[in-house]
Amino acid sequence: MGIAHTTSAVMIFLTGLLPASCHKGVPQQSSGAGTVSLALTNAAGQPAPLPAADRVLGDVALTNHNETCLQLATGETCTLTPRMLDKRNVQLTLAVESKNDYGETHNFAVTQIVAESGKTLQVAVGDLDLIFTPRVTEE
């Protein structure tokens, strides 16, 4: 019982920090789904259909150590936090949050990956698959 209360308190605290850290400006993106070229295949090796357009983010401009918030068409908010490891590789922390009608957090999922800046990637965050090309600049 004590662990459940502690976990809930930590999640509420972290959820409260998330909106306060988001940028108010919209990150620069290119024309969206038209810029992403992927060769996805299913288990049988056949070409798989591309995911819904609301999950294909295209080029996403990021600044090292600065969070960027994206409002997805699904009604969820995705916060991306990049950290450059070297000139090519970046550690990305992705947090996806959805809220119910009362503004309370309904779902919250966090994933951390290492990717190459400028290369298209597909990442699963909770039940959501996102496809995008991170373009990270140091500032």
User: Residue 138: which pLDDT band, with cuts at 50, 70 and 90?
Assistant: confident
Q: How far apart are CA 100 and CA 77, in angstroms?
A: 12
Q: Do residues 106 and 120 make contact, with C-beta atoms less than 8 angstroms apart?
A: no
> What is the pLDDT averaged over residues 40-55?
51
User: Residue 42: which pLDDT band, with cuts at 50, 70 and 90?
Assistant: very low
User: Residue 14: which pLDDT band, with cuts at 50, 70 and 90?
Assistant: low
pTM, whole model, 2 decimals?
A: 0.60
